């Protein structure tokens, strides 16, 4: 089971009911041809979406994963919870995903 917020649940239900192709695949995000999404398909979809939005940023699934982890920490999620959500076996790997800005580092130092 993966914890999600109410807005994401609403979007995922919409995906299931209106967008997801009819397939017998057990994968949540599926295609009719292979039954699952490849990393390449996800990244191509992200590139197309970024272009449609007019963004001038490079976005990949891996970058979204890093952003997800950083946002969790920025919003006070405990590091062990972030580790579990990312499926990491140890905190050292998780810590590589966390991008701290100088303001966050200053706040940490101000705690002592």
Q: Is 27 within the bounds of a domain?
A: no
Q: Is 29 within the bounds of a domain?
A: no
Query: Number of structural domains, the chain?
Result: 1
pLDDT tens, residue by residue, 40-92: 999 999 999 999 999 998 999 999 998 899 889 888 899 899 999 999 999 88
pTM, two decimal places: 0.70
| Containing structural domain, residue 82 | 58-112
Identify the H or E element spanning 61.
helix 61-74
Q: Is 68 within the bounds of a domain?
A: yes
Residue pair 70/99 in contact (Cβ under 8 Å)? The answer is yes
For residue 44, which of 59, 29, 22 has the smallest C-alpha distance?
A: 59
pLDDT for res 83: 93
């Amino acid at each position: 089971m993966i914890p999600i917020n109410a807005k994401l649940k609403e979007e995922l239900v919409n995906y299931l009911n209106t967008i997801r192709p009819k397939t017998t695949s057990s994968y949540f995000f599926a295609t009719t041809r292979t039954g699952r999404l490849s990393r390449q398909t996800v990244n191509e979809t992200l590139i197309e979406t970024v272009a449609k939005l007019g963004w001038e940023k490079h976005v990949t699934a891996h970058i979204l994963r890093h952003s997800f982890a950083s946002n969790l920490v920025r919003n006070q999620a405990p590091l062990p919870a972030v580790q579990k959500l990312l499926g990491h076996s140890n905190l050292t790997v998780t810590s590589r995903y966390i991008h701290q800005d100088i303001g966050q580092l200053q706040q940490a130092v101000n705690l002592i």
